[in-house]
Structures are given as structure tokens and as C-alpha cells.
Amino acid sequence: MSVEFPQFKLSDEVDFAIVGSGSAGGILAKELSTAGFSVVVFEQGPYRKSYEFTDDELGVHFYGELQGGGSRANGQTFRHDEADVATVSQRQPADYAQTVGGSSVHFTGNFWRFREIDFVERSALGTLSGTNFADWPITYDELEPYYTKVDWEIGISGAPGPNDAPRSKPFPLPPIPCHGSGVLMEKGAKKLGLTAQVEPHAILSKPFNGRQACMHCGYCMWYGCKHGAKSSTLVSMIPLAEATGRCEIRANSAVFRVETKSDGKAAGVSYFDPDGNERMQRAKAVILSANGAETPRLLLMSSSERNPDGLANSSGYVGRNLMFNAHAAANGVYEHPMNDYKGVQVSRIIHDFYESDPKRGFYGGGGLDARSLFSATPIFFAMAGMPPDGPRWGKAFKDEMAHNFTRQMSIVASTTSLPLDRNNITLDPESKDRWGRPALRMTYRDHDDDLAMAKFLQDRAVELHDAAGADKFWRLPIGPATGSAHLLGTCRMGDDPATSVVDRYHRSHDVPNLFICDGSSFVTSGRGQPTMTIMALAFRAAEHIARAARSNEI
């Protein structure tokens, strides 16, 4: 049952065609439509509402219900190195949602701001050879008002931590209640002289803006929130955009090309409508917010005689510098049931290792969080949550599962990823997606420093389990990543058109009426949980784009 909204004609030249309805696209749609512009938002997935989300773990997590049917349907391929032939894997490498609201619908809701250092780390530390490590063209101070806008418009719960970057307004909502896993992490941290702090969430701890509070059902990571308490753009932004009467959400519509005019400017987008017919929507300006994997793919698909290497790609940086945030984890089993499947994933984090420290002997920083992870849902737990030294089947296996499920938690590390030429998004020469478009090909091998940082934090995770009194704890193997939900850096922002794709206001250096704003805009990876920064960038970009449009500078 979709909402009634205005339908623009293909022959209408709308003000903005936005590709992607997620963290950035949803915000841009709301900001630009409320500013008086006409907007069509293209989403390749369907328009699901909160009441349509289910707790069906097999369907959602394993059959890719929110991801357009997963690996087989999307045909994404992966390889570690350029010399390899990329293949389709069971779990798709670019782990994002195809549904209105995008990945803000199925993400976990962990919501870190960057700190000042994240924007100027290259200046602070110097160059790192063999990498594209660089400063951002903007600072934390410039982005801070938009972080605060995200807090208050999207709905964020939390409390400040000891080393957080300064904020101009307090959190609008108090923290989500602490879980057993958070209590145990705090206990371990105290013993080790570390500081556990409250995890901020894009999940409502109290009713806010007409939405209800979190019911602690536990289906956050990978699931759509059936209560509407997770602050996705689906529930926080898109209803406001539609209420203007100037925004159309065109779901089940897969864009395959940004069209250009003879003067090189964008003319609109071509897409497959829900029946598979090719259509073209004219627009005065095009905004790509399709995520850090799909945005570069679309630019590469939009190559032409004039732009043989893809649109907006005179720098050759489209698709390059893909960053994930490296991860590591250690699981622990405790004496008593903590039932961490109830409620949100994370309630406490440790940011004592946020900054890079030359004494460690490698670049990097990161955060630790205590979370349910495997013990949030039973299939994932059975598949991947059991200790490596135990039996894999039979009575002892069954009994151990039955004992551990309610008593187990994970401490997860999220770290920096360095921007490298070798890590990128390209078009697969063979594989196609279900629309027949060239499939997304991902090439990725973590930098040694990223894995060293992950290992360093995993050591701390193990110490924390020990200090918290776990009966048993073990490490998950650390190795080169084969995919991620964090898709960053592939159309980086910068002042120099030779080494960046968009300027500091997200305008393409090459195509003046083409804007790009999503995870692809990132210059560095941060320490994990990038959605807050994607959303802040979108609010900031919208302000500049609206100003430019009003003064006829598009």
C-alpha cells in the first residue's frame, strides 16, 4: 500500500533527480523539497513501510529479502587482488539494502560522530607511503552544526563520552538502557583502567517527533524496525519530503545511466521502471546518493564518447580508495543469562584507542563495543557463534548451544581503513545484475596497518572478557575482508580536481549540475559507524545545493 504522492511526468524537467533514498538521499529529498524544489527520488528496491518489516531471520539475513534477493540476484563479484578473476560469493560483498530508506533501514543504529582529528589526520601524522591518505577539505567545526541537525531532526539517543568532540547542543534523547553486555564491558574496563561510555544510537529511547520509542525487540542489525523507532530516513525524513507535495519517491526503479547534454551537463537519468521498460527522467540537476559502491558503479556505467572512463571521472578517482573499517571480535560466555537478544545490539563502547599512536608501530585507531552480535538471533548463532574448539554436531554441540545462547556476548573492534588505489569498485566484465546491468565488481585487500590495528584491539577485547570474568572466551579469526556494509571513499571530496571527484560542496569537478553525496564522499574512513557522518554531510550539502539553485548557479 504505497502513499499517494505527486507523480511527475517524464517530460517534466524536475529540479532534482536523486538516485538513492538512503541515509543521504532521504535527507537531501526532505531538505530540497521543503526548500521549494521539485524532486524525484529513485530507489531500486520496493517501498516497504515499517509494518511490513518482519523478524524472519532466514528471509532477511540469509535470503537477502531487504537486499534485492542477495548475491544471485545482484551478481556482485569480489576479488582480493587485481590479478584474480572476481567471482560471485554466497554473501554479497557490498552489503546494502534495496528498499526505500536504503541501508538506514537495516543498519544497526550505532551512531558515532567523527572527531576533529578525523578531518586533519594527514596534517597531524604526515604522509603514509603507498596510500592516498589525505585531509578532508572541511573540518569538524564546519560539520558540527550538521551533526547537531542530525541529532535533532533524525532522533538520536545517547550521552556524551569523556573524549568526544565538542557538541553545540546536548543529545535530544537519553541513552537506551544498558544491557548485560554493556555492564560486563564496563566491569572489565574499570579493572583495566579503561573508560566504557554510552553508545549513541539512531534509535529512539523515548517518543520523538510523533514516533514511538524502542520496544527492545532485538531485531536491529540487518532488520527493518517494525516499530519505526530506528531513525531511518524512511520514518524520519521521507514522510516530511512527501508531505510537501513536491517529492515523488519512485520505487522499484533502477537507474542505469546519468544522461548528459551536448554541453556536458547532466540532462537527467535513465532507469528501468517496475515493468522493466527503459525510461528517462529529465532534471535540472542530478544528485547521486546511491552509496559508496553503487554511486561509482553508476558513474562508470555512464561512460560515453566524451567520457570514456566514466562520468565525472577526469581524475580517475571514481571507484578508487574504497574503505570499509576493518573489524575484529572476541566472544565470551558468562555464568548467568544476560539475554542480549533483547534490545539493541550495543550499549557500551570504549574509545580509549581512538587516536593513532606511533608507539604501536603502525597507523590506526578504533573503537570497541560490547554487543550481542551472534547471540541476537538463533540461526546466526548456530552458524557462526559457537567456539572453534567444540564439537560441530551431536548432543554435546546441542547442549553447548543451549547453554551459551543467552550467556554469550561479543566485543567487537572497528578500526580505520587506509585509502588505497588497489581497493576499488569497477564494472564486472561478465556478471550482470537482475536488470542486465554490468554487475558491481569489488577489489579489496586491507592495508597491513588496518589488520594490525584490528589485532591490537582484539587483544584488548580478550583482556576485557578476562577482566569481566568470562567463563570462556575466544577470538574470531582476523584476515582480509571480503565485503562490508561500510562503503566509503570511492568519489572522495577535495579541493584539487586531479585527486578528488567532488568539491567541498559535493559538486562534481567535471559536471557542474551533478552532485555526489554519500559514503563515497569520505576522504578517510573514521573509526567505524559512518552513517552519522553521511547524514551530516547530506544536511550540509543540501544547504549549499539549495543556495546554488536559488541563485541560478546550477
Q: Does 338 bind other proteins (CB under 8 A)?
A: yes
- The interface region with other proteins, picked from 175-183, 446-454, 489-497, 520-528 by CB under 8 A, is 175-183
Q: Does 178 bind other proteins (CB under 8 A)?
A: yes
Q: Does 92 bind other proteins (CB under 8 A)?
A: no
Question: How many whole angstroms separate alpha carbon 272 and alpha carbon 350?
Answer: 46
**Least spacing, CB of residue 190 vs other proteins, in Å:** 13
Q: Three-class SS of residue 304?
A: coil
Q: Does 342 bind other proteins (CB under 8 A)?
A: yes
Are 112 and 123 a contacting pair, CB within 8 Å? no
Determine which helix (DSSP H) or strand (DSSP E) holds 272, and give its type and residue range: strand 266-272
Q: What is the DSSP string of 139-183?
A: -HHHHHHHHHHHIIIII-B----TTPPP-SS--SBPPPPPPHHHH
Within 356-435, where are the H helices? 378-384, 395-404
Mapping DSSP onto H, E and C, the string for 470-528 reads CCEEEECCCCCCCCECCCECCCCECCCCCCCCECCCCEECCCCCEEECCHHHCCCCCCC
Residues 315-334 that bind other proteins (CB under 8 A): 334
Residues 56-85 that bind other proteins (CB under 8 A): 56-58, 62-63
Nearest to 442 by CA among 88, 16, 17: 88
The cell for 133 is 591518505
The cell for 290 is 546511491
Q: Does 390 bind other proteins (CB under 8 A)?
A: no
**Is the Cβ of residue 8 or residue 334 nearer to other proteins in the bound state?**
334
Q: Does 382 bind other proteins (CB under 8 A)?
A: yes
Q: Does 239 bind other proteins (CB under 8 A)?
A: no
**Least spacing, CB of residue 155 vs other proteins, in Å:** 17
Residues 436-495 that bind other proteins (CB under 8 A): none
Q: Does 170 bind other proteins (CB under 8 A)?
A: no
Question: Among 205, 417, 423, 508, which residue sits at the site for other proteins (rule: CB under 8 A)?
Answer: 205
Q: Does 155 bind other proteins (CB under 8 A)?
A: no
Q: Does 218 bind other proteins (CB under 8 A)?
A: yes
**Is the Cβ of residue 108 or residue 500 nearer to other proteins in the bound state?**
108
Question: Among 170, 174, 388, 480, which residue sits at the site for other proteins (rule: CB under 8 A)?
Answer: 174
Q: Does 131 bind other proteins (CB under 8 A)?
A: no
Query: What is the Rg, in whole angstroms, of the alpha carbon atoms belonging to the chain?
Result: 22
Buried b (16+ CB within 10 A) or exposed e, 297-324: bbbbbbeeeebeebbbbbbebbbbbbbb
**Is the Cβ of residue 138 or residue 382 nearer to other proteins in the bound state?**
382
Q: Does 125 bind other proteins (CB under 8 A)?
A: no
Q: Does 228 bind other proteins (CB under 8 A)?
A: no
Question: How many whole angstroms separate alpha carbon 208 and alpha carbon 189?
Answer: 33
Question: Among 175, 188, 365, 494, which residue sits at the site for other proteins (rule: CB under 8 A)?
Answer: 175
Q: Does 381 bind other proteins (CB under 8 A)?
A: yes
**Least spacing, CB of residue 384 vs other proteins, in Å:** 10
Nearest to 509 by CA among 353, 340, 312: 312
- Point out which residues bind other proteins (CB under 8 A): 51-58, 62-63, 174-175, 177-180, 182-184, 205, 215-218, 226-227, 334, 336-343, 377-379, 381-383, 392-395, 397-399, 401-402, 405-406
